[in-house]
Amino acid sequence: MHLFRYLSICIFLASSTTAQENWLPFSPKPDPFTLTSAINLRFLNEKQAGDGGFIAAADSQFIHSTTKEPVRFWAVNGCPGDTPAELRRSARVLSKYGVNLVRIHGGYFDADGNIDPAKIKHAIDTVEALKAEGIYSHFSIYFPLWLNPKPNTPWLPGYNGSQHPFAALTFNHEFQEKYHSWWNALLTTPSAASGRKLIDEPAVFGAEIVNEDSYLFWTFTPANVPDAEMQILETQFGEWLKQKHGSIESAMKKWNGPKVARDNPAKGRVSFRGHWEMANQRTARDKETVAFLVESQRNFYQQQVEYLHTLGFKGMVTASNWATADPRVLGPLEKYTYTHGDFLDRHGYFGCQNKGDSAEWSIRDGHTYIDRSALKFDPEQPGKPREFVHTAMDIHYDHKPSMVSETTFNRPNRFRSEAPLYYACYGALQGSDAIVHFAMDSSRWSVKPGYFMQPWTLMSPSMIGQFPAAALIYRKGLVATGETVVDLNLKVADLLDLQGTPMPQDAAFDELRLKDVPQGTAIKPGNVIDPLVHYVGRTGVNFTDNGGPAKLIDLSKFIDHAHQIVHSTTGQLKLDYGKGVLTINAPMAQGISGNLHDAGAVELADVSIQSDSTLAHIVAVSLDGAPLATSKKILLQAMSEEKATGFESQPASNGVQKIVHIGQDPWSIKALGGIVKFKRTDSGILKVVSLDANGDKQDELGAASEIKLLAGTLYYLISR
């Protein structure tokens, strides 16, 4: 028995040692910010943000208003730092890794809604620090979750101190006046250092009117909107109906349907049915209700755009970025309400079903989660069919630029390392104009930079660590923009008739619904365009008074469901979602992402790659603007997967994992091996040098004719 126990212990220790040897600590030395760092992308930015003038929009893209040069934004939420010195350091880190825009997301008011001068000063300090590194700033100053109006608040009556003012800003004019005071203070307070106001600062890219709030989302209910507030909107609806029908009674007679409990025609108030009923039953009442809500919301955004312009704001303005209760029927109407803005925005995360106490904003021992691959379209519920939906699927509306201002792959999903190349390649293919990663909560490599571990930390080896190649691919267009494969002309009257769209954004489209996709190039009633179209090329939607013909190319040339493969119109991207493999084969960027083991030896135009890793991302990008076939300076980037040191989980049930220990600093990365070969005739004299995590030179490794990847090395410089 003692011998058995001894052997068991030996076997356990051996297996544990092997498991630990497969993971290497990622703990870079402090960054000296050397000018010779091969991953320093500071050169991509202007000397100072705004040197090319205020950012404007033209031909469906952002441009510098003075130089007319187009610009894409590879961006993050947040520039961490409590002092000007820390802000400058963070800005320096961001510019090095290819970032040229920061979304500054936070309120400038205290618990009572009064202006907080300290927050205003910090905002100005942040803009100035970012500007010096060629990084633009984008302000998001209001989110209903930031306010809990106290009882007897004069500009928001009816609240009890524990409710958030969902929807209220859209219809409450007194609240709007308070809101205007926040913008006024932020944009017109002079800088203590320069005396300059943000309203005159071309380094300020834009302004977001409201974050994640909508009449058309589930939060708009009598349970969330107090009676005193709801009465304001119900009265506005009553007045709208009087203008249209002569009286509320006439409208209700025409509807010939059930009343809502809160209806009070005698006092001039008409209430609202639920979102599910409106999107699915689509009665006469539902159609007029949605028409009123859309008009109210659209008018609100128009008024706020006009207010900011009247104030003197010269940057880009966007309305909001929220989802709806029904992507097919209500989703396009939400987008339509945004079109008074200069560009359209949206949000979306690739979640891993993190569940447990406060799981919506933290990772804790005892939480459960799933490992989920976007390259395979893994469903949110293990065991279900594939779900063809992802935030990277972009649509341009009314020929305006498109931004996703909050997105990431949540931790602790082991497939998180798919994200940077996924966003970069498909953002470039679709002509996306700004990808804003969430969230930069530290400029130092820490798994837990704050008092809790959050699911979005960007300063990690799999995220910021992969920014150099990803930022180059996206910002420099090393992967080409595809052909326009879908162009829809949606008649506004039909949308208000709740007929919906054949190309819903963010709809959970699964394999079971493939019978609903159009056959050939004709779109019939009830069809839903194959969402894999977004991995083929560019898509667009126009809101029109008269409708018009739709463009849909023959997708069968590019989408092969039988073999589970999607090709881009450019021929530069191939997604094998059966194996979970993305292949990049462009003149200045070539590589492979995903399950390299199942992919086998991959032959690209100028590079061959082979690795036994089941999850890795290896890509070569030109650093001198020349094709890889002739480039004299190439970055080879390699990444596997990450976890916090000491992170432990155990199977729970049906593919679900339970966290035993969330782990601690430093980050760990899984050992990566493989061979990369350059096919050029001069590959034998192309020098290969390994780089440290800061991009500085380490060891000479020989020639590019055969590069054996080092287990813990992210970057290699190949030069001649």
- Per-residue pLDDT tens for 524-547? 888 999 999 999 999 999 999 999
Q: How far apart, in whole angstroms, are the C-alpha atoms of residue 98 and residue 96?
A: 6
| Of 286, 304, 326, the domain-final residue | 286
| Of 536, 559, 582, the domain-final residue | 559
In this structure, is residue 444 part of a structural domain?
yes
CA dihedral 250, 252, 253, 258 (to 10 degrees): -170
In this structure, is residue 40 part of a structural domain?
no
Structural domain of 551: 484-559
DSSP state for residue 638 in the 8-state scheme: E
| pLDDT score for 11 | 36
Q: Is 182 left (phi over 0), alpha (psi -120 to 50) or beta?
A: alpha
Residue 344, strand partner residues: 402
Same domain, 396 and 450: yes
Judge whether residue 15 has pLDDT over 70.
Answer: no
Same domain, 534 and 674: no
Residue 567, strand partner residues: 574
Same domain, 268 and 309: no
In this structure, is residue 271 part of a structural domain?
yes
∠ Cα 240 241 244 (to 5°): 90
CA dihedral 439, 441, 444, 450 (to 10 degrees): -130
In this structure, is residue 369 part of a structural domain?
no
Same domain, 409 and 442: yes
Query: What's the whole-number average pLDDT of the chain?
Result: 95
Same domain, 327 and 467: yes
Same domain, 311 and 325: yes
DSSP state for residue 510 in the 8-state scheme: B
Judge whether residue 95 has pLDDT over 70.
Answer: yes
In this structure, is residue 368 part of a structural domain?
no
| Of 475, 500, 530, the domain-final residue | 475
What's the chain's length in residues? 720
The tokens describing 244, both together, are 């249209």
CA distances from 481 to 264, 537, 568 (A): 54, 7, 9
**Which tens digits make up the pLDDT trace of 658-709?**
999 999 999 999 999 999 999 999 999 999 999 999 999 999 999 999 999 9
Domain count, the chain: 4
| pLDDT score for 515 | 66
Q: How far apart, in whole angstroms, are the C-alpha atoms of residue 519 and residue 563?
A: 18
Q: How far apart, in whole angstroms, are the C-alpha atoms of residue 282 and residue 500?
A: 11
| pLDDT score for 21 | 62
CA of residue 132 relative to chain centroid, distance: 25
Same domain, 110 and 257: no
Estimate the share of the chain in helix, then strand, then coil, as percent rounded to the nearest 5: 30, 25, 50
Judge whether residue 625 has pLDDT over 70.
Answer: yes
Same domain, 466 and 411: yes
pLDDT range class, residue 6, cuts 50, 70, 90: very low
Judge whether residue 19 has pLDDT over 60.
Answer: no
In this structure, is residue 2 part of a structural domain?
no
